[in-house]
A and B are shown apart, each in its own frame.
Chain A
């Protein structure tokens, strides 16, 4: 059966063009929406093979949506489809679990290739992106690795307040597994691997009172 695609983008004109293009390219468009929150709902319901997500979207942005979609529909593979080519976005997307990163301006044929490759289980980055990402990796000059995102800071604050993953999930209205994945990713970013030191870090940062 042909590949089932769900996509989220807050620009109606782009969505319209994308739908026609995907259909002409023999993909099955099973859903479309305008923000990350709807994408999450639709992904859970439709279990698409591929979800294409814009990065900057209202309500839930693409980066947070990826993580949550992968929890509700683990077989879905996510590709970011965006105008942003700066490498911190690419790294953050890969860290959130996206398997592909495609620039909108690179257009149709690249997108088709990305969908096919990602469906085969590979990671696909737009040609003009992969070079800068490899360079960044080789020089390791980025510091944004350690920058926590707002959601991670919320989770950190709740951990430091002594909440379990289950309680954190309840607080933030996310799944327990998603809360756990935030915990893991912030431990990796901070290179701190036990709760006691996480709490100490949060106190030092002034996120919680000692």
Chain B
């Protein structure tokens, strides 16, 4: 590989690592710091309730519900940034939860098939999670799909394919464009390439879309 190109890839890789680290810290702050503080507040409230006269019950209940809602919103936000589950249990359980949330939100039938039984390097798990997340976001926003299939498998590389039966698009045009939020597919491609992988998108208006990624296992 040409020296300049390699340097550029390394710089891009470092940038992505920094971004990922920042996201992780942000997600942790939201979940750990703020979320835990709210849990402590709820416990104190419950303790207070034991001593309250019974006619304060309704008001107390309302306050409790509001705090529970804040807690839930923070948890969703933290999950959206970077789910803890990715670290704790690994890529597949984290993707299962993402799939479930997305199907519930969009009504699409999303299937996840994986033959990967062990954990992958953390950076690779994060990249693959981001790819599927981005693909599902695009599908939810633009594709009008009813069926989505996600496949993950590995040989000396790890492969991921996301297919939908939506309206499709002009893939050349989309790859030129950066995402409005998050990395966008163009950003994902940069990130995959900086890890020595490749990303391909096959889409034709009216014929659905397929995002194909392969990345070397050693990152």
Give the size of the chain B interface in residues (CB under 8 angstroms). Answer: 37
> How far is the CB of B205 from the nearest CB of chain A, in Å?
32
> How far is the CB of A35 from the nearest CB of chain B, in Å?
14
Query: What are the residues of chain A within 8 A of B114 when measuring CB–CB?
Result: 143
Cα A148 to Cα B117 in complex, Å, equals: 6
Chain B contact residues: over half helix, strand or loop, or mixed?
helix
Interface residues of B in 76-94 (CB under 8 A from A): 84-85, 87-90, 92-93
Determine whether B40 belongs to the interface, using a CB cutoff of 8 Å to chain A: yes
Given A14-B36, A142-B96: A104 touches B89 (CB 8 Å cut-off): no
Q: Could you tell me if B36 and A11 are in contact, using CB atoms closer than 8 angstroms?
A: yes
Given A20-B47, A24-B47, A84-B84: A147 touches B39 (CB 8 Å cut-off): no
Q: Could you tell me if B92 and A21 are in contact, using CB atoms closer than 8 angstroms?
A: no
Determine whether B18 belongs to the interface, using a CB cutoff of 8 Å to chain A: no
Query: What are the residues of chain A within 8 A of B170 when measuring CB–CB?
Result: none
Q: Could you tell me if A143 and B112 are in contact, using CB atoms closer than 8 angstroms?
A: yes
Per-position contact with A for B105-127: 1 when CB-CB < 8 Å, else 0? 00000001010011100000000
Cα A56 to Cα B83 in complex, Å, equals: 12
Query: What are the residues of chain A within 8 A of B64 when measuring CB–CB?
Result: 107
Determine whether A17 belongs to the interface, using a CB cutoff of 8 Å to chain B: yes
Q: Could you tell me if B85 and A83 are in contact, using CB atoms closer than 8 angstroms?
A: no
Could you list which residues of chain A lie within 8 angstroms of chain B, going by C-beta atoms? 11, 13-14, 16-18, 20-21, 24, 55-56, 61, 63, 83-84, 86, 88-89, 92, 104-105, 107-109, 142-144, 146-150, 153, 190, 205, 207
Pick 30 A–B contacts, CB within 8 A, sort by A: A11-B32, A14-B36, A16-B40, A17-B39, A18-B40, A21-B43, A21-B47, A24-B50, A56-B88, A61-B88, A63-B88, A83-B35, A83-B75, A84-B85, A88-B96, A104-B43, A107-B45, A107-B46, A108-B43, A108-B46, A108-B47, A143-B92, A147-B93, A147-B119, A148-B118, A149-B89, A149-B119, A150-B119, A205-B117, A207-B118
